Amino acid sequence: MQRIFLIGFMGAGKTTLGSFLSKEYGYSFIDLDHYIEKRYFKSISQLFALHGEEGFRLLEQKILHEVAEIEKVVVATGGGTPCFFDNMECMLSKGVTVFIDVPTDELLIRLEKAKSKRPLLKDKNKEEIRAFIEESMLKRRSFYEKADLTIEGSLMYTHKDIDNMAQEVLRFASSKK
């Protein structure tokens, strides 16, 4: 059994690293948001609009517990996943949890280009996104920092950059077997 949960803020590169681990190193890959969208036949934005953030968090918890039973899998979680209910404890008990830590300035560059599918960001301008990142990080960091491993994620542009991160994760995960 080897289960790896990738956690971190929106734009940290959880999906990028997770799909890389799957393509290059043979893990199954689950992107939690994508899985939720397929299960409920609705986009994350539609689920937020229909059920509010509270309703979305309940669905997210349910699906996290479900995927936490799958074997040899990398799960890219949503940015808020570790910060609600027992989600962080669930991930810590079911596998290796990796926090991809990226500085605010870099997150801002990434998120400005990719805010439309993210209901918590889509109506915000650059300065509002910066304020949101800073305020959320104050609350979320304590959850993220419970991870078994923290890796630096600001350099994620080339195949080599991502492979270096993947290898760091795999070295750590195999030491935990």
Residues in contact with ligand S3P by the rule CB under 6 A: 10, 33, 44, 78-80, 118-120
At closest approach, how far in Å is the CB of 57 from ligand S3P? 9
At closest approach, how far in Å is the CB of 118 from ligand S3P? 5
Q: Which residues of 149-176 are buried (b: 16+ CB within 10 A; e: fewer)?
A: bebebbebeeeeebeebbeebbeebeee
Q: Which of 73, 86, 98 is nearest to 149 (CA)?
A: 98
Kindly state the tokens that stand for 59. Answer: 């669905």
Name the residue nearer to ligand S3P (CB basis): 119 or 161.
119
SS (H, E, C) 95-139: CEEEEEECCHHHHHHHHHHCCCCCCCCCCCCHHHHHHHHHHHHHH
At closest approach, how far in Å is the CB of 78 from ligand S3P? 2
At closest approach, how far in Å is the CB of 146 from ligand S3P? 17
Q: How many Å apart are CA 101 and CA 175, to the nearest integer? A: 21
Name the residue nearer to ligand S3P (CB basis): 24 or 119.
119
Q: Hey, is 67 helix, strand or coil? A: helix
Name the residue nearer to ligand S3P (CB basis): 78 or 153.
78
Q: Hey, is 68 helix, strand or coil? A: coil
Name the residue nearer to ligand S3P (CB basis): 64 or 169.
64
Name the residue nearer to ligand S3P (CB basis): 94 or 118.
118
At closest approach, how far in Å is the CB of 169 from ligand S3P? 17
